[in-house]
Amino acid sequence: MMANNISGKKVAFLLTNGVEQAELTEPWKAVQEAGGQPVLVSPEEGQITAMKGDWEYGDTFTVDQQLSQAKADDFDAIVLPGGTLNADKMRLESEAVALVRAFAEAGKPISAICHAPWLLIEADLVKGRHMTSYASLESDLKNAGANWVDEEVVTDRGLTTSRNPGDLKAFCSKMLEEISEGQHSEV
């Protein structure tokens, strides 16, 4: 997984309270081990609380940058961890929708796992895309025009998607590959 060196690359992790802990911590660790700089971006101030599944509280994590201050120009890629509560709240944040859209317009890699593709739907970035997600989002993605498949990780023009925490190894590997490739003509 660590064949892709992303030294010097700054990666935004966009999330809020209720994020699935493993979907934050495993990609974060992968970015660090590959030489990148992960930055926790959130609409919250101070700290956020993760979840383990949707029922058990996880650890707290310090917010590095307020969403209102985040700009796609300041980062090389963005990671959207899942978790039902996190993803549901983030898709309602107009600044989050605008930020993800800006990454796509700049051709910068976007990686989303589990329920995070809800934000991609809201940003109107899924039509005609080959994607996967948590199984309960299949209809949502298809209704928004995506070609949904049940695979552990799918990449389409710099947009990487994955199903759930069980797919994290494949997700992290593909995420790092896309970040190391850099900007794409269209995400």
Query: Which residues belong to the active site?
Result: 114-115
Contacts of 69 (CB under 8 A, 6+ apart): none
Please report, as a single letter, which amino acid is at residue 23. E
